[in-house]
Amino acid sequence: MEVAATLERDAQLMLRVREGDETSFALLLERHRGPVVNFLYRMVGNQSVSEELAQEVFLRVYKSRSTYEASAKFTTWLYRIATHMALNAIRDGKKEKGQQSLDQELPDGRERQVPDTSRTVEEKMVAQVRVREVRAAIDALPEKQRAAVLMHKYQGLGYAQISKALECSESATKSLLFRAYETLRSRLAHMA
Amino acid sequence: MTCLNENNADQLLAYFEGALPEADRHALDAHAARCSDCRALLSVHTQLDAYAAPEISPDFDAKLYARIAAEESKLWWHVSNWKLVIPIAAVAAMLAAGVFVSQQTTVDDSDKQASIDTQQLEQALDDVELLMPLTSARL
């Protein structure tokens, strides 16, 4: 119910953007900026590339405002654009060129945010290793499986929405997700 | 209960989404307690929590709005150029049409002249032919 209301609100905001309401675009940006950048970051593994791609996604959303129809769920449409952007960037080699190490600092000197609830140095190191292993396991997934699992796990999209975003059938999406989780289980088995 | 596999992927996905009915959830948990592969598969979702994304750059919105402004001005230039191009194209088309009509008139005139010349030449040849018997008779 809550999800349906949220989606409906997004579509309403987008319809207002279509009528020239800039504030509604700012609200949509506020709501989806973080999730879209995070999704793209996990897809391409590079902070600056993911932000550049996310800007391109929102630019496309803005440019499409005059033709927007609320026929599809806004987030489905948004992630379809984002997935296309990410897959194209990966194929163009942006990911390989710009892949960042977890130890590397961000360009503006800020430290990468990694959940850190540990107290001792040893626990912190274990947490860092865990992040690195999870990231490597996700990065090693085939592109479509990676996109599907990222949308399912981190963006909270259901397989019906993911199938529309990836433009494949629901049954194919279920298989894609199962194989992705199964591969991750096998790669992360030593950490369980 | 059978192990989780591609054919009953619905159960795994519903479990992760918290959408599995309570009885099915208990059954799956009971199975996982005895099956290490299914137990590991169910714990994958939680393992992935470790991978957090970095903070977004503070100038993200500023950069985006700058790109939007650049696109809008490109579009404005495009539209305003069209506003200029249309009357210019109309005038050019009218001029071209004028030149074409005038050339056609010239062509028509020269065609007429050529036709007159041919007629005159044919007439002259006919006259020569008519005069030929007279000339030979005198000789």
Mind listing the pLDDT tens digit for each residue in B65-122?
999 999 888 766 666 666 666 777 778 888 888 887 777 766 566 666 666 667 776 7
The tens digit of pLDDT for each residue in A114-144 reads: 555 556 888 888 888 999 999 999 999 999 9
What token pair was written down for A119?
């107290």
Interchain CB contact of B66 with A (< 8 Å): no
**Contact criterion met (CB < 8 Å) for A174 and B9:** yes
**Contact criterion met (CB < 8 Å) for B13 and A113:** no
Distance (Å) from the C-alpha of residue A178 to the closest C-alpha of chain B?
Answer: 6
Size of interface A-B (CB pairs under 8 A): 104
CA atoms of A189 and A174, how far apart (whole Å): 22
Chain A residues inside the 8 Å CB shell of B56:
33-34, 37, 51
Mean pLDDT of B50-62: 93
Chain B residues inside the 8 Å CB shell of A189:
40
Interchain CB contact of B40 with A (< 8 Å): yes
In whole angstroms, what separates CA A150 from the centre of its chain? 6
CB A144 within 8 Å of CB A43: no
CA atoms of A18 and A62, how far apart (whole Å): 9
Nearest CA in chain A to B10: A174
Nearest CA in chain A to B45: A153
List helix spans (H) across chain A.
Answer: 2-18, 22-44, 47-63, 74-91, 94-98, 121-139, 143-153, 159-166, 170-187
Phi then psi for A19, rounded to 5 degrees?
-85, 5
pLDDT under 70 in chain A at which residues? 1-7, 94-119, 192
> What's the pLDDT at B114?
67
> What's the pLDDT at A106?
45
> What's the pLDDT at B135?
53
- pTM over 0.95? The answer is no
A141-160 CB burial, b ≥16 within 10 A, e <16: beebbbbbbbbbbbbebbbe
The tens digit of pLDDT for each residue in A165-174 reads: 999 999 999 9
CA atoms of B43 and B49, how far apart (whole Å): 11
Probe site for chain A from B8, B36, B44 (most A CB atoms < 10 A): B44
